[in-house]
């Protein structure tokens, strides 16, 4: 019986061994390129402690809280408006991107490549582009969120529709329904739980993004963070950081609860 038992550890083949070595070399090469320094890591805690001592207690003066509160509201407005418009626009884009639905394969490929390009450009870069296009302010930030959401949701909505059970669609096709009717009546309802889940993630992502778009003048609370650090007003900067943390965690909690409530109950 012991003869047929597999060895506890398989001896790797020469090719596998070379692969492991190559992987390790790549990791060390990347660490070197990233300027990894044990000395800096060792010296960071005292510096961090110095920053913390200057930043705490955070600035909780009522006028500062009111000003930052309104900036946070603006941040949420940018995020929600951008995410909602982005999600709505993502549906037709995804319909054209999804293979085997309404568009021929070459169109699917072009749209998927375009969505890949949108995702490859960071949201802060999109914000810079829109600041140039429409000027400083929250509108540029909202447009950046819209385009970023289309890149994210367009791809995942398309994948969700491709992954749906094909049976209901076939049953409707067999009775003479048009492609668009089949998609509306069978494919989209089947993909709806995944759409909702993806949309809520997009909203969370939009809220996180919108907090830093102000760094490039695209509205929201990010500008307050930048000014706080530029003026060495660390207590106010710490207030901004704490405010962002509370809002982002809060949005994640609400999103998770909504996801469970809608999708959980539907399933």
Residue 11: DSSP 8-state: P
**Which CB sits closer to another protein, 199 or 211?**
199
Binding-site member from 177, 215, 241, 242 for another protein (CB under 8 A): 177
Q: CB-based contacts of 98: which residues, under 8 Å, 6+ apart?
A: 108, 157, 158, 159, 161, 162
Integer Cα distance of 166 and 185 in angstroms: 12
Q: Do residues 111 and 103 lie in contact, with contact meaning Cβ atoms separated by under 8 Å?
A: yes
**Which CB sits closer to another protein, 137 or 193?**
193
Phi-psi label, residue 100: left if phi above 0, alpha if psi -120 to 50, beta otherwise: left
Binding-site member from 6, 62, 105, 176 for another protein (CB under 8 A): 176
Shortest distance in whole angstroms from residue 163 CB to another protein: 15
Task: List the one residue out of 124, 160, 162, 166 whose CA is nearest residue 145.
Answer: 124
Asked whether position 78 contacts another protein by CB under 8 A, the answer is no
SS3 assignment, position 41: helix
Using the contact rule CB under 8 A, the part of the chain among 33-41, 137-145, 190-198, 214-222 near another protein is 190-198
Task: Please give the structure tokens belonging to residue 102.
Answer: 């309404």
**Which CB sits closer to another protein, 113 or 171?**
171
Using DSSP, how many helices (H) and how many strands (E) does the chain show?
12, 0
Shortest distance in whole angstroms from residue 207 CB to another protein: 28
Q: Do residues 235 and 58 lie in contact, with contact meaning Cβ atoms separated by under 8 Å?
A: yes
Asked whether position 266 contacts another protein by CB under 8 A, the answer is yes
Binding-site member from 72, 144, 190, 221 for another protein (CB under 8 A): 190
Within positions 126 to 165, which residues make up the interface with another protein, using CB under 8 A? 165
Binding-site member from 76, 85, 102, 168 for another protein (CB under 8 A): 168
Q: CB-based contacts of 30: which residues, under 8 Å, 6+ apart?
A: none
**Which CB sits closer to another protein, 50 or 181?**
181
Asked whether position 172 contacts another protein by CB under 8 A, the answer is yes
Binding-site member from 92, 116, 189, 264 for another protein (CB under 8 A): 189
Applying CB under 8 A, which residues contact another protein? Answer: 165, 167-168, 170-178, 181-182, 184-186, 189-190, 192-193, 266
């Amino acid at each position: 019986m012991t003869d047929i038992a597999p060895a506890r550890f398989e001896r790797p083949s020469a090719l596998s061994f070379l692969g492991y070595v190559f992987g390790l070399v790549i990791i060390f090469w990347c660490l070197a390129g990233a300027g990894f320094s044990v000395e800096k890591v060792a010296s960071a805690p005292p510096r961090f402690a110095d920053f913390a001592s200057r930043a705490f207690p955070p600035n909780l003066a009522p006028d500062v809280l009111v000003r930052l509160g309104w900036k946070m509201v603006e941040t949420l407005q940018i995020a929600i408006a951008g995410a909602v418009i982005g999600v709505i626009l993502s549906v037709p884009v995804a319909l054209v991107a999804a293979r085997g639905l309404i568009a021929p394969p070459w169109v699917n490929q072009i749209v998927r490549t375009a969505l890949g390009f949108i995702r490859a450009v960071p949201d802060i870069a999109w914000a810079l582009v829109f600041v140039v296009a429409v000027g400083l302010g929250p509108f540029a930030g909202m447009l950046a969120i819209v385009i970023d959401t289309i890149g994210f949701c367009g791809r995942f909505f398309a994948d969700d529709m491709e992954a749906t059970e094909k049976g209901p669609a076939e049953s409707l096709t067999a009775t003479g329904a048009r492609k668009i009717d089949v998609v509306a009546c069978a494919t989209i309802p089947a993909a709806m739980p995944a759409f909702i889940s993806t949309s809520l993630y997009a909203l969370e992502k939009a809220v996180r993004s919108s907090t830093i778009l102000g760094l490039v003048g695209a509205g929201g609370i990010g500008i307050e963070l930048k000014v706080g650090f530029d003026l060495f007003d660390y207590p106010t900067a710490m207030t901004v950081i704490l405010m962002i943390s509370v809002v982002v965690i809060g949005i994640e909690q609400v999103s998770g609860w909504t996801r469970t409530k809608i999708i959980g109950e539907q399933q």
